[in-house]
Structure 1
Amino acid sequence: MFTGIIQAIGEIASIEKRSGDVRLTVFSSSLPWDDVELGDSIATNGVCLTAVAFIPQGFIADVSVETLDLTTIKHWQKGTAVNLEKALTPQSRLGGHIVSGHVDGMGEVVSREKDARSERFKLRAPKSLAKYIAHKGSITIDGTSLTVNEVDGDIFDLNIVPHTLDHTVIGSYSPGTQVNLEVDVIARYLERLLMGDKAAESGTASQMTESFLAQHGYLK
């Protein structure tokens, strides 16, 4: 588990294709490595990766075909900058929100503009994920815990303060940039709970609609 508070920016040192999937080497001179052990999880642009080996100031991880399909890793190259966060411990401060590192899908930056000292970003989410994104709710963008400012259909707004721009890869975003999205885990579980016994039926995993909510008394 993670908090969505980025600890360092690293870069992809190498990408090695292996029988259909990928082995990554990630380097960072600014992330403390002294407490990272073999098998530990490290969120890399929001993707939970397991350290299978180490290099000086870096780690090596294997990436499955499913992860390649669902995340921006498929577009990474040697030198790509990535947000890094080590897994939280019982002593960690939960400064962001509960983040699993299990990316739900990819979004796209639609626009970026100045808003005093901050910057305002509009992003488009896949239609299958838009229902989980709420005004003033939490969302994880490339591993960064953020608050949603506005929502309009599948478009949502983020106000990014200077510190976050300077200390995450968000500062490099421009219209067209693809990002990893993880919606609030509470929203995903709430959907299953609201479905009740229907959740156990085949083919009903993602059928939470307005008509379903109205039928069961959650909308008037």
Structure 2
Amino acid sequence: MFTGIVQATCEVVAINKKDGLNTLEVAMEPELREGLITGASVANNGVCLTVTRIKDDRVFFDVMEETLSVTNLTKLQVGSQVNIERSLTFGREIGGHILSGHIHTQARVCGLSNTSEHFNIELEVDKKWMNYILYKGFVGVNGCSLTIGATTENRFMLHLIPETLKLTNLDLLELGDKLNIEIDSQTQAIVDTVERVLAQRGLTDSLNSVG
């Protein structure tokens, strides 16, 4: 489990590509590697990956074909910066919201506004996901826990503070880039439950009217 509070951006220094599998080699600072062991979970751009090897300042992750097909990790190149968060430790302060590291979809950057007063991002997703993307709710974006701004039929706004830009790779975005999206699990559960109850109630009312 993760909190969506990115700890650092780290450089991808090598990518070993095989059929159905990419091995990422990521350079990490000593404080990020402290206590890290093989088998541990680390979020890379919000994707929960397992540490397969540690050598000096390099940490290795295997990315399977299914993960590559649904996330932006397939677009990484040597020199890319990835958002890194170590897994949640019991007793640690939770400053964001609980994330699983399992990506639901990707969003396309369709608008950027960067001025001395603000940094705004407009993202576009498949319409079906907007049921769970609600004004003032939470969403995981490349592993960052962010508050949702204004929404439309298939777009939503993000308003980023300087601290978020300093610690993440979101300040490197360009129009057309794809970002990993993880829906807030509590929001999804509530929306799905309400829809199911309303659908069942509608069916019951229909049967009663026929009877």
Secondary structure, counterpart of 1:32 in structure 2? helix
Q: Distance in 2 between matches of 1:140 and 1:216?
A: 35
Whether contact under 8 Å (2:10, 2:27) holds in the other structure is yes
State how far apart, in whole Å, the 1-side matches of 2:56 and 2:150 are: 42
Corresponding residue SS for 1:35: coil
- Structure-1 residue corresponding to 2:51: 51
In structure 2, the residue corresponding to 1:51 is in which secondary structure? strand
Q: Quote the residue 2:145 is aligned against.
A: 145
Correspondences of 1:106-125 after superposition (within 5 Å)? 106-114=106-114, 117-125=117-125
The change in CA–CA distance for 1:161 and 1:30 in structure 2 (over 3 A counts) is: farther
Q: Deviations over 1:125-156 (max 9, x none)?
A: 12232211000000011000000011111110
**1:126 maps to 2:126:** yes
The answer for the alignment partner of 2:66 in structure 1 is 66
> Which structure shows the bigger proportion of residues in helix conformation?
2
State the identity %: 31
Bigger radius of gyration, 1 or 2? 2
Shift of the 90–123 alpha-carbon distance from structure 1 to 2, 3 Å rule, reads: same
Does structure 1 conserve the Cα–Cα contact (< 8 Å) formed by 2:41 and 2:49? yes
Which residue of structure 2 aligns with residue 79 of structure 1?
Answer: 79
**Is the counterpart of residue 155 in structure 1 residue 142 in structure 2?**
no
TM-score, scaled relative to structure 2 = 0.89
Unmatched segments (≥5 aa) in structure 2: 205-211
CA distance in 1 between partners of 2:180 and 2:90 (Å): 26
How far apart are the structure 1 equivalents of 2:200 and 2:26? 44
Deviation at 1:117?
A: 2.8
Following TM superposition, the consecutive aligned residue runs of length 4 or more in structure 1 with deviations greater than 2 angstroms are 28-32, 114-118, 187-197, 211-217
Contact 2:131 2:191 in 1 (8 A): no
The answer to whether the 8 Å contact 1:8/1:31 transfers is no
**1:12-53, Cα deviation, whole Å (9 max, x unpaired):** 111112232211111123652111111110000000000011
Normalization by structure 1: what TM-score?
0.85
Asked if structure 2 preserves the Cα contact closer than 8 Å seen for 1:48 and 1:100, the reply is yes
* Candidates 202, 206, 209, aligned match of 1:215: 202
Amino acid at match of 1:114: N
Matched, 1:104 2:104: yes
Aligned AA (1:77): Q
1:191 is displaced (CA, Å) by 4.3
1:214–1:179 distance in 2 versus 1, CA, 3 Å = farther
Q: Tell me which amino acid in the other structure corresponds to 1:119.
A: F
Task: Give the letter aligned to residue 35 of structure 2.
Answer: D
Matched positions, count: 204
> What's the offset of the Cα at 1:118?
2.4
Aligned to 1:41: 41
Q: Which amino acid aligns with 2:126?
A: P
Q: Give the root-mean-square deviation of aligned CA atoms.
A: 2.2
